[in-house]
Amino acid sequence: VLYLVQLAALEARFNLNFLNKTEATNGLPLFFYSKIAFVLLGLLLLQMHASAQSYHRISGDFTQKYKSTDGKQVLIKGRFYFDVKYKKAVYDITFPESQIWVFEDTVQRIFKGDTLFASMPMTFSNEFSIFHLSLTQRLDNYGLQESVFHLEKTEVQNDMVVSYWKPQQALSKQVGRVVLSKKNKQLYGVLFYDPAEVLIRKQFFRNYSHVMGINFPMEVIDIFYRNGNEVYQKTEYKNIIINEPGKDNRYRFRYAV
C-alpha cells in the first residue's frame, strides 16, 4: 500500500504514469489518483500518530523513605523499569546495596548479581502499579473503572472531585470501599477502608510532571494505619523516561529459577 501511495504521489507531483493507467483503461483522470494518494498518506500519518501515542515502557530514578516496624529507618534508592508487555517491575537498587528486585505475578525476587538471593510472595498486582496505570492512562481513576469496584457516587469538595467506589457484593466481606479525589483532573488522594469501614491506608499523588504525553506524579505519600499508629512512606521519582529503546536486560530481566 505504501509503495502504491508513493508511486501515486510521485505521479501526481511530476505528472508521470508509473501505474500505466490511461483514460481508456480506467477512465479516471490523474488528479483522482493524487487525491487517493493524499487520503492514504493522511491515513498513514494518522496511524503513525496513533502508534506514537501508545506508551509501553517507563523508567526512572526513585527514592523511598519510611520507618519500618522494627523502628529502623529505611532508605531505598535506585532506578525502576517497567514494560507493559512483560508486566514486570524491575528495580535496580543502588542503596542500601546493589541488588535487583523483580516484582512479577505474585512473587517478589531479590537478586544479588546474577544470583537469586530470596523470593517472597507479594499481595499486590503490577496491573495496579503506578507504572502500569500511568502507561495505560488509567491513573486518574486508579484503574478502578475496569476492576471489581463500581462507582457509588461522585461529589465536589472544594477544589476536589471525590468519587466513592464499592467492591462487588461477593467481595464485600474481604475488601472495603475506596474513595478517590482528583485535583485538576489528576488523581490526588486515595483512601482505603477495610470491610468494617475502618480507614487502613491513605495515598497521595503530588507534583505531577508531564513527560512525553504522560502525567506522572513525582511524589507519592503513603500513610498506613496499623495497630493505632500512623506509618508514613514517601516515594520520590525523577528522570522519568517513556518508551525507552534498548535496555531489554532490565525491562525484561530474564533469569533462571
Partner 1 sequence: MKKAIFTFFAAALSFNVAFANVGEFELNEEKLMAEFADLDAIDALVEEGNFTLAQLSDENPVMAASLSDNPLMQNFSIDDMDWGSFAWGFCCWPIGFFVVAINKKKDSDQKLSFWIGMGVSVVLGAIGSIGGAL
Q: Which residues would be at the binding site for partner 1 (CB under 8 A)?
A: 63, 65, 67-70, 72-77, 94-98, 101, 108, 110, 118, 120-123, 152-153, 157, 160, 162, 164, 179, 181, 188-189, 191, 197, 199, 202, 204, 221, 226-227, 232, 234
Q: Whole-number minimum distance, CB 162 to partner 1, in Å?
A: 7
The grid cell for 128 is: 495496579
Contact 186, 167 (CB under 8 A): no
Closest CA to 73 of 232, 236, 238, 237: 232
Please report how close the Cβ of residue 98 comes to partner 1 at its closest, in angstroms. 7
Please say whether the beta carbons of 129 and 84 come within 8 A: no
220 closest CA partner among 12, 60, 17, 53: 60
Q: Taking a C-beta distance cutoff of 8 angstroms, is the pair 101, 54 a contact? A: no
What is the identity of the amino acid at 13? R
Nearer to partner 1 among residue 46 and residue 74 (C-beta): 74
CB of 252 to partner 1, least distance (A): 21
Between 62 and 251, whose beta carbon lies closer to partner 1? 62
Nearer to partner 1, 33 or 165 (CB): 165
Name the residue nearer to partner 1 (CB basis): 130 or 220.
220
Closest separation between CB of residue 157 and partner 1, Å?
6
Q: Which lies closer to partner 1 via its Cβ, residue 10 or residue 76?
A: 76
CA distance 203 to 223: 6
Cβ–Cβ < 8 Å for 87, 100? no
Output the smallest distance, CB 134 to partner 1, in A: 21
Q: Which of left, alpha, beta for 250 (phi over 0: left; psi -120 to 50: alpha)?
A: alpha
